[in-house]
Amino acid sequence: MSQNDIQYPSGFGLQDLISYWSTGLVVLDPASNTVVKKPLDPAYTRHADIERQIYERFIQKGGHEGILSYYGVFEDGIRLEYATNHDLKSFDDTGQLPEQRLRWVIQMAEALAFIHGAGVIHGDLSSANIFLDAQLHPKVADFAGSSLDQSPLLFESSASYQYPKSPLSVEGDLFAFGSLAYRIITGHEPYQGRDGDRFAICTRKISFPIPTLSVALAASLRSAGTGNTVHVMLCFKN
């Protein structure tokens, strides 16, 4: 589908477009500093419905600062908080201190605990689905393919984030979180350049890469929190 074929939400146009992909689009509403996310095609209405239900579940559970804020429905889409620094995948984090990277990992772990407590399995955790606000606080997003109360996952994560056993599980999300933590700590994706080698990964015929921690980051990990132990793991079973 070309940009000329896109059906925008009422009152929006090409000048407001932030991103679009095969299943949906996002437009910016500068007046409210929010975005509207909607399906591109009626075939993906199911994805939009499950995402709406998940955000409404989060509100019922009290919400969490580590998840994009939800502001209700807009036509066949939803209105969400605008993360001014966009997603972690496209964000240039080369100048970020080890302490900042560690804070991201901790904040995302706390958000993930809330997500699981609400009966949701994200199913597609990656740097592309973590957004950063103006203060560089991470926000988990993109629940269009997620599972609510053990409903089927509608999307499949990339190979380096996919649990070799059951993606539809807390363990599957934790596996992806380990890969995401690796990305944050090292600055590059696990298995970079080998993402398509799904068979080798799923049959565990290659070893997990071990990050080399800088002295500063190692010190941060040792001293993180008071009375708290922070485990940053790449989780797998032999």
Q: Is 103 part of any domain?
A: yes
Confidence at residue 234, expressed as pLDDT on a 0 to 100 scale = 37
Contact of 77 with 39, CB cutoff 8 Å: yes
What is the rounded CA–CA span in Å between residue 6 and residue 127? 26
Residues 140 and 172 in one domain: yes
For the chain, the C-alpha Rg in angstroms (whole number) is 18
For 10, the domain range is 3-81
Q: Is residue 184 part of a domain?
A: yes
Q: Which of 30, 50, 81 is the last residue of a domain?
A: 81
Q: Does residue 235 fall inside a structural domain?
A: no
Given 26, 52, 81, which residue is the final one in a domain? Answer: 81
72 and 124 fall within a common domain: no
Instruction: Give CA angle at 140 (126, 180), nearest 5°.
Output: 30
List helix spans (H) across the chain: 45-60, 98-117, 170-186, 198-202, 215-223
pLDDT score at 219: 52
Residue 212 sits in the same domain as residue 146: yes
pTM of the predicted structure, to 2 decimals: 0.81
With a cut of 50, which residues of the chain have pLDDT below it? 199, 202-203, 205-206, 208, 210-215, 217-218, 220-221, 224-238
